[in-house]
Amino acid sequence: MPETEQGYLLKVREAVSGRLLSTSKPWKAPELTEEQTESPSLRLTVPRISLITGGEYFAVWAYGKKSKNQLDNAKEVISAAFYPVDASGDIAPSGTTDAEMPGEDSAPDLSVFPGARGLLVRPLYENATLVSPDDKVTQDISKVKLGGKFSDLDLNNAFPGPDGLVTNGKLEHGGSASGGFGVDGGWHSTEVTPPGVDAVLKGEAARTGPWETPNGRINSAAGNHLIAGWYTTSGDPISAVHDLATGKPQATASCESVGTPYDLRIPERADQYDTPPAVSPNGDYLIKDGSVFDLKKGKGHCVGEGKDAKEITLISVGDDGTAYGLTDRTALRGTCPSPSRPRPGSQSHCRWRPRPRTPLPRMPACSSPTAVSTYA
């Protein structure tokens, strides 16, 4: 997404050939705040690109300050422009919106969650705002109804789904993969448990006595998919990919996944915590942390496991299941043409070839099943 004197340009290319499909008209990002200017290495200072599923838009959004006119003081905003994925030629945004942010929050205190109906902007100390491609802004979102009970919107994971906001329930007992999740007023995690998983966790506390809580917890999302952690009947954690619209499990892996931050910090380096999940351009594979999920076959595999194995952070995955990632701050290229067929006696489906200090291939900023948006 190059910057010109007139603004930023979104370039969309065909996923297979790299052929340029469309170029946006220049889009003006908001001005940098004083906080961004003083600490550019710690605050988001350039636009980000997110895929809005359902209507299939690329959302270009940025944090900064804007004023309505020269007589008004500038206010901190999230500015967004939405571009149809299937557009061609020179394109203008189908919608542009500015969502004002509370004055007491700063960039690191804001999280932005992309989903099926737009961008959910979640300040740390205020209610959330939903920014939609049709220029609609829905403010003061604070509560959802999960499993028949009202719950606060989760600070760390709340995604716009086709039928409402998808988020976690209250975390009380049972560990980090508990509390349950679901869509506001619709399906709940107790109805979409993966195989070998109890819908409800039960235990007993020394002071308060018996307790029970829904199993499962969302830790990230990508495209039309949620990634959740679960406790199995044996007590071991698993990771599962779920359909964003229905909650239905799509693939599982016998490994634990960590949460993904959606705030506006700039990561110091790529690691499993700061690296978001990614889907292959054709939609057949999904990677998260050190897990590769084959969504067509419903299977997932863990890489970088074993007694002497190095921790691997996967960054992207191709249409044939080849995953790319990092280990020990050294770029690696994974050779995994068939993720569904692990080698005998191995927990990993990949053979990793270290290529010290070799730059990774340029990865797309965002992708749909047919197109990718790029930063260059």
DSSP for 17-44, please give it: T--EEEEEPPBPPPBPPHHHHH-TTTS-
Give the three-class secondary structure for 250.
strand
Structure tokens at 75: 């206010």
Distance CA 183, CA 187 (A): 6
Give the model's pLDDT for residue 343: 31
pLDDT band per the 50, 70, 90 thresholds, residue 292: very high
Give the model's pLDDT for residue 364: 53
DSSP for 71-130, please give it: TSPPEEEEEEEEEETT--EEE--SEEEEEE--TT--GGGEEEEE-SSSEEEEESSS-EEE
Distance CA 35, CA 39 (A): 6
Lowest mean pLDDT among 141-150, 172-181, 242-251, 306-315: 172-181
Distance CA 191, CA 189 (A): 5
∠ CA 155-157-162, nearest 5°, is 125
Give the model's pLDDT for residue 188: 95
Section 292-312 average pLDDT: 84
Give the model's pLDDT for residue 297: 94
The closest of 103, 166, 91, 93 to 132, measured between CA atoms, is 93
Partner residues linked to 275 by β-bridges: none
Residue % of the chain over a pLDDT of 90: 35
Q: How far apart, in Å, are the Cα atoms of 212 and each of 70, 182, 215?
A: 57, 17, 9
Residues 6 or more apart in contact with residue 346 via CB below 8 angstroms: none
Distance CA 227, CA 257 (A): 8
Give the three-class secondary structure for 336.
coil
Residue % of the chain over a pLDDT of 70: 79
Partner residues linked to 20 by β-bridges: 13
- Domain boundaries in the chain? 1-141
Q: Does the global pTM surpass 0.95?
A: no
pLDDT, tens only, 206-220? 777 888 889 899 999
Q: How far apart, in Å, are the Cα atoms of 119 and each of 111, 149, 295, 355?
A: 10, 25, 25, 38
Of the chain, the end-to-end C-alpha distance in Å amounts to 5
Give the three-class secondary structure for 205.
strand
Give the model's pLDDT for residue 99: 87
Q: At 172, phi and psi to the nearest 5?
A: -120, -55
Give the model's pLDDT for residue 333: 37
Q: Would you say 168 and 217 are in contact if contact means Cβ atoms under 8 Å apart?
A: yes
Section 218-235 average pLDDT: 89
Q: Token match 């061609």: residue?
A: 88
Q: Would you say 354 and 368 are in contact if contact means Cβ atoms under 8 Å apart?
A: no
Partner residues linked to 150 by β-bridges: 145
Give the model's pLDDT for residue 340: 31
Give the model's pLDDT for residue 70: 74
User: What is the dihedral sign for C-alpha 333, 339, 342, 343?
Assistant: negative
- The residue ranking higher by pLDDT, 294 or 340, is 294
Section 283-296 average pLDDT: 92
Give the model's pLDDT for residue 35: 82
Section 162-166 average pLDDT: 93
pLDDT, tens only, 80-118? 999 998 888 899 998 899 888 876 555 657 899 999 989
pLDDT, tens only, 189-198? 999 999 889 9
- pLDDT score of 330 more than 60: no
- pLDDT score of 319 more than 80: yes
pLDDT band per the 50, 70, 90 thresholds, residue 376: very low
Distance CA 145, CA 186 (A): 8
pLDDT, tens only, 21-70? 999 999 999 998 888 888 766 677 889 999 898 768 999 999 999 887 77
For residue 287, the one-letter residue type is I
Distance CA 76, CA 305 (A): 44
pLDDT band per the 50, 70, 90 thresholds, residue 271: low
Q: What is the mean pLDDT of the chain?
A: 80
Lowest mean pLDDT among 7-11, 36-40, 243-247: 36-40
Give the model's pLDDT for residue 174: 55
- pLDDT score of 360 more than 50: no
Section 197-208 average pLDDT: 83
